[in-house]
Amino acid sequence: MPDPKQRPWVRVIIEKPFGRSLESAVALNATVRRAFAEHQVYRIDHYLGKETVQNLLVFRFANSIFEPVWNRQHVHHVQITAAESVGAEHRGKYYEEAGVVRDMFQNHLLQLLTLMAMEPPVTFSADAVRDEKVKVLRAIRPITPAVMHDYSVRGQYGPGTIDGKPVPGYRQEPDVAPDSATPTYGAVRFMIDNWRWQGVPFYLRSGKRMPRRASEIAIQFRQPPHVMFPLPEGQTIESNILAIRVQPEEGIALRFEVKVPGIEVKMASVDMDFRYAEAFGELDHDAYETLLLDCMLGEATLFTRSDEVEAAWAVVDPMLAFWASKRPDHFPNYPAGTWGADRGRRVHRPGRRQVAGAVTSAGITGSESGPCAVPATGRATAAPG
């Protein structure tokens, strides 16, 4: 059906993951195109139907105060985390084939990265938005085998405790091989080689059996070039952090410095916190309902296009190939109920300061072990993963 306005219409929804590699995605796209035109194909990713994700474009491009600082001159680094408290559970057969990269990185996390990094589209239309997202994916610097150890880390959960209750390790889950090498945790540093983001690392992390469920984005801004206020010896001024909570407790928090009341000049970090539920009430629909309605209306902005899917696979394929060629001898390497493999610190570049804490339903906390914490470490000395 070449004309999208032709009636009656026929549309097909395809759930992620779309393929399991770049080669298979290209072949699947070719197969789909033999039966459907591109405008009839809706490749669904439920993350794009979440209110906070949809709000990213409005937040960035409908508020003039943010766009001037949304670049390498002002942003120190960006962290995108999707933590799950559940394990493989009844999805063992699927997860053995997918792993964390195919399940989370190729789709959910890279989609959030493109929305954070894309240029303003000419119009708010499906193809204009998706054109800009594809440009971001194509600008991501390839991770070669020579530097893979410095840019990525993998992990697999072992037995542990969630909410005070013992839970099995991944290898003890139903339909999982007792010596499985499937990663349930990944941390990756991506660099975007374009004018806006050159030199700014994007840290992506996802894992199962984390202490709690949380999908969050944290933008840490650069420190002031000169601090004229007196500070105790060894103390530095905290960086400003913009934290976007995708789920649960959807909202946005901004951390900044203020003067503590008193005669002396002392500073403290405070948060401004916006929560969707407080401002608009509880949401009465979920992400899939939003996307299914959009499909019926012919609105494709929140769905991925064929070239976008292939560009995302091109980003993660080298990592999948590298990990497949080197069987891990250290799995499992993090207990269930913790924030993942300690060697995830390896993906952080020397000199990167730690985000002030985790982004939670209460704003930005002081925890150093939360999902958006960036350890201040140098080059890793841990064994290759």
- Spatial distance between the Cα atoms of 77 and 60, rounded to a whole number of angstroms: 17
- At 94, is the secondary structure helix, strand, or coil? helix
Structure tokens at 225: 């070039």
- Spatial distance between the Cα atoms of 278 and 362, rounded to a whole number of angstroms: 12
Nearest by Cα to 18 from 329, 319, 222, 308 = 308
Residue positions annotated with a catalytic role: 108
- Spatial distance between the Cα atoms of 135 and 120, rounded to a whole number of angstroms: 12
Residues 6+ apart with CB under 8 A from 85: 162, 209, 210, 211, 212, 213
Strands 157-158 and 334-335: parallel
- At 169, is the secondary structure helix, strand, or coil? coil
Structure tokens at 370: 């939360």
Structure tokens at 215: 């999908």
Our CA angle for 252, 255, 259, nearest 5°, is 145
Strands 160-162 and 165-167: antiparallel
Nearest by Cα to 88 from 210, 174, 161 = 174
